[in-house]
Amino acid sequence: MKRRGQSPLTERLKMINQAHRKSPPSEPVQTWLTLPRGNKLVLPARFRHENVRAADSLVEYCIKEYSVEGQVVFDPFAGYGTTLVLAEELGRRGYGIEFSPEKAQYVKGLLADPGRLIHGDARKLKEYDLPLIDLCLTSPPYTHRSDTENPFVDYRQKGFAYSTYLEVMGDIFAQVSEKMNPNGRVVIEASNLKKDGDVTMLAWDIAREVSQVLRFEGETIIGWEEYGYGYNHSYCLVFSKP
């Protein structure tokens, strides 16, 4: 059999790879992980139809990776309080904001210091009295690009555009940036979304929008046995203060 020589493309790739090997390693983030889903706290029956919680494994990983004991971990979309509860358990000071009065009341009942959960609106973040944030760790409310309900008011108002969603996200994280320790990190867990044959590039759009106000450090791909939205992976988008 005739032995073929390497193509110009293969040669070029080899050269590029060699050049990369000479540059110093600069990998501030783990680039992929596989994690188990699940939460050790059992949600009260009244909330079980809407279990949108981040997995304990992911929250624990991020808290340990991006903060140390005693630091402030903040979640502007606190939901059922996974970030705050695990932050407290891991010796950090967990703070958060939650829009839904029912969820806010529930989370307050889980915390040693209920005052650290603000029943409020992340869009007005700068109005709240918060300590300097070392780690902002969150999973935002999701929306498809064809949806018209406003996710920032519990999907209760219509006439909302995806472009506005992205602008609001940018504005919220600009406010987070102002309250951050200069060495702090922001980690946003998000996924792209498949629906009716259409893909909303939610994670990538959030990364692009938030990178206008924070420095994008990179992403960690999280592989899950089960996820949703047509995927079994999500992204942890990691940012620092510019």
Ligand X SMILES: C[S@@+](CC[C@H](N)C(=O)[O-])C[C@H]1O[C@@H](n2cnc3c(N)ncnc32)[C@H](O)[C@@H]1O
Interface residue list for ligand X (CB under 6 A): 52-54, 77, 79-80, 82-83, 97-100, 103, 121-123, 139, 141, 152, 154
Residue closer to ligand X by CB (options 85, 214) is 85
| Residue whose structure tokens are 């493309």 | 9
Residue closer to ligand X by CB (options 82, 220) is 82
Smallest gap from Cβ 23 to ligand X, in A, equals 36
Cβ atoms within 10 A of the Cβ of 208, count?
13
Helix (H, G, I), strand (E, B) or coil at 132: coil
Distances in whole angstroms, Cα of residue 202 to Cα of each of 49, 143, 144: 23, 8, 8
Smallest gap from Cβ 121 to ligand X, in A, equals 4
Residue with the closest Cβ to ligand X? 79
Smallest gap from Cβ 2 to ligand X, in A, equals 58
Question: Residue 162: what residue type?
Answer: Y
Residue closer to ligand X by CB (options 4, 84) is 84
Smallest gap from Cβ 13 to ligand X, in A, equals 40
DSSP 43: P
Distances in whole angstroms, Cα of residue 16 to Cα of each of 19, 22, 24, 26, 108: 5, 10, 15, 17, 54
For residue 180, give the nearest of 143, 226, 130 by alpha carbon. Answer: 130
DSSP 44: P
Cβ within 8 Å of residue 194, ≥6 positions away? 200, 229, 230, 231
Smallest gap from Cβ 21 to ligand X, in A, equals 39
Q: Kindly give the interhelix angle for 82-89 and 56-66, rounded to the nearest 10 degrees.
A: 50
Residue closer to ligand X by CB (options 218, 228) is 228
Residue closer to ligand X by CB (options 20, 49) is 49
Cβ within 8 Å of residue 182, ≥6 positions away? 241
Residue closer to ligand X by CB (options 1, 112) is 112
Smallest gap from Cβ 79 to ligand X, in A, equals 3
Residue closer to ligand X by CB (options 149, 217) is 149
Question: Residue 155: what residue type?
Answer: Y
Give CA 67 to chain center in angstroms: 15
Smallest gap from Cβ 12 to ligand X, in A, equals 44
